[in-house]
Structure formats: structure tokens, C-alpha cells
Amino acid sequence: MSRKKYVVGVSGASGAPYAMAAIKALLKLEACVHLIITPIAKQVWQHETGTSLSEFIGTFSKEEQSRLILENNKNLGACVSSGSFRHDGMLVIPCSVKTLAGIANGYAGSLIERASDVSLKERFKLILVLREAPYNLIHIENMATVTRAGAVVLPASPGFYHENTSAQGLIDFVAGKALDQLGETEHDLYTRWKTEDIQGEKDA
Ligand SMILES: Cc1cc2nc3c(=O)[nH]c(=O)nc-3n(C[C@H](O)[C@H](O)[C@H](O)COP(=O)(O)O)c2cc1C
């Protein structure tokens, strides 16, 4: 059985912990991850997590590191820039409104935009974990455009109905919803809803 291959883009919206949770979970599920991180995302990552990307990568085993391929956002010649490179889906987590705008307008000027554009044209899954609040009409129109083109817009808005509502639990919930959209549902990022979870249902 060949391994699943995913492209994970990290842009400069707030929410580096979502990216960390998603990457960790995909590696745990034995997938290969092609990671693209924008220059501003590296700064936001350091600010929000207190660690650099290389320190984060250093927390993985050698075997996991061999499945985490760091791509240069400027390298439009990378494999993920071509539709001939087949993969199982792309996640942009978090997705800034600037990267959303690039994708919505087919502006494939960086690798993260080009790989997203290729994912749409090849009808690969493309999940955009958007983080901004509030939205203006431009954001909403860009979300509609990418949705019509086949992407899934998944706002970084955690639910509070699952068991773990700690900060890490809420982060993991968003990452888990993103993995669900990729079709990777065997993760343990959040506990799934069961009918009997509401006591009142039993009493009614
Ligand atoms: C600390 C920090 C937090 C930010 N948070 C957001 C955010 O939540 N959403 C967003 O769309 N942009 C956010 N931005 C702005 C983006 O980083 C900026 O628009 C940048 O041009 C995005 O570029 P990229 O999409 O190529 O990474 C933030 C910037 C900084 C420095």
C-alpha cells in the first residue's frame, strides 16, 4: 500500500498552533507531508508558539522527518507545482485572506498559491482553514469563488460540544475537522459526537 501524500501550506494568518496540530496528526497517521510555509508565516509561527519551524521539525523522529518534506515557497519548480505530481489533498492551515485572494484569482505567484491552483485544476481536495474576523465583502466573495472552484473553506472556529475544551482541545478540534475533510478520519484530535452525549435527550 502506498503512503498518502498531502501538501500542507502555512500562511501568515494567526493560528500556527493549528498547523502544528495538523502536521503532527498527519505524520502520526503515517502520511507524507509536503510543507510550504510563507515568509511571514515563519515569523507568526515563532511569535505564537515560541519555537522556530526547525525546532518543531526537530521534535519528530528521524523516520517522521523523512516523511516531512520542506518546500521553498519561492521554488515554483517544486514537484507540488505540477499536476503530474499526484497527491491526496492540500490543506492551507491557517489561510490568510491574502493567500485566499491569491487562490481565488488564480494568481499562482508563490508555491503555496501555485500548488493550491494546481489542486483545483486537478480536482484534488483543497481545504482552506481561513482565519480572519470579521470578514469584509472581498473576503466573502473570494470564499464564494474558491468554493465554486471546488475548495472547502473551513473557518478556524472551534465547537465547544466535545470533551476537551482546553485551548489545546479547541486547536485540535479545528485541525481534526480539517483532517476529516481530507478524508483522514482515523485521528484522535477530537471526540466525535454521540446521541447519548446530551443527558436531556435520555430524560425527555
Ligand atoms: C501577528 C500577525 C497576525 C496576523 N493574523 C492574521 C490573520 O489572522 N488573518 C489574516 O488574514 N492575516 C493575518 N495577518 C496578516 C498576514 O500575515 C499578511 O496579510 C500577510 O501578507 C499574509 O501573507 P501570506 O498569506 O503570504 O502568508 C497577521 C499578521 C501578523 C504579523
| Position 49 pLDDT exceeds 80 | yes
Tell me how far apart the terminal alpha carbons of the chain are, to the nearest angstrom.
48
Q: What is the pTM of this model?
A: 0.96
Task: Decide: 128 in ligand 1 pocket, CB within 6 A.
Answer: no
The pLDDT value recorded for residue 29 is 98
Instruction: Give the span between the Cα atoms of 59 and 130, in whole angstroms.
Output: 26
pLDDT digits (tens, 9 = 90+) for 144-157: 999 999 999 999 99
Q: Which residues contact 59 (CB under 8 A, 6 or more apart)?
A: none
Choosing from 35, 43, 44 the residue with most ligand 1 atoms within 8 A of its CB, the one to mutate for a pocket test is 44
Choosing from 53, 98, 142 the residue with most ligand 1 atoms within 8 A of its CB, the one to mutate for a pocket test is 98
Task: Decide: 40 in ligand 1 pocket, CB within 6 A.
Answer: yes
Architecture of domain 5-203: 3-Layer(aba) Sandwich (3.40)
Task: Decide: 92 in ligand 1 pocket, CB within 6 A.
Answer: no
Sequence spans of domains, the chain: 5-203
Instruction: Give the span between the Cα atoms of 58 and 65, in whole angstroms.
Output: 8
Q: Which of 4, 13, 7, 28 is nearest to 155 (CA)?
A: 13
pLDDT digits (tens, 9 = 90+) for 113-145: 999 999 999 999 999 999 999 999 999 999 999
